[in-house]
């Protein structure tokens, strides 16, 4: 499965990073981004972000990613097959 964040909607609350730190991170701009291994899907890191920055995540992370999406106050986390 894959996940991405719409940074235009992100509130920078950080719940996603608390719930699933292997999949989400906050950067210095105060917004959340998705992570795949050592790669952070952020233009500031030289990678696509938003809908173009789809990160694969392991099946064991699914519960945390779903919980992150459900708890996100900005409703900006999108999970795709």
Write down the pLDDT at residue 21: 98
What is the rounded CA–CA span in Å between residue 60 and residue 7?
25
Q: What is the CATH number of the domain that holds 46?
A: 3.30.70.20
Which domain does 18 fall in, by range?
A: 2-80
Q: Which two tokens stand for residue 73?
A: 């106050």
Task: Tell me which residues of the chain have a pLDDT lower than 50.
Answer: none
Q: Which pLDDT score is estimated for 22?
A: 98
**pLDDT for the residue numbered 59:** 96
SS (H, E, C) 22-33: CCEEECCCCCEE
Domain count, the chain: 1
């Amino acid at each position: 499965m894959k996940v991405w964040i719409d940074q235009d909607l992100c509130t920078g609350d950080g719940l996603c990073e608390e719930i699933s730190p292997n999949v989400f991170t906050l950067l210095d701009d105060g917004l959340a981004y998705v992570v795949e291994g050592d790669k952070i899907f952020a233009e500031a890191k030289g990678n696509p972000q938003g809908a173009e920055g789809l990160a694969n995540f392991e099946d064991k992370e699914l519960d945390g990613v779903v919980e992150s999406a459900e708890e996100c106050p900005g409703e900006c986390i999108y999970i795709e097959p």
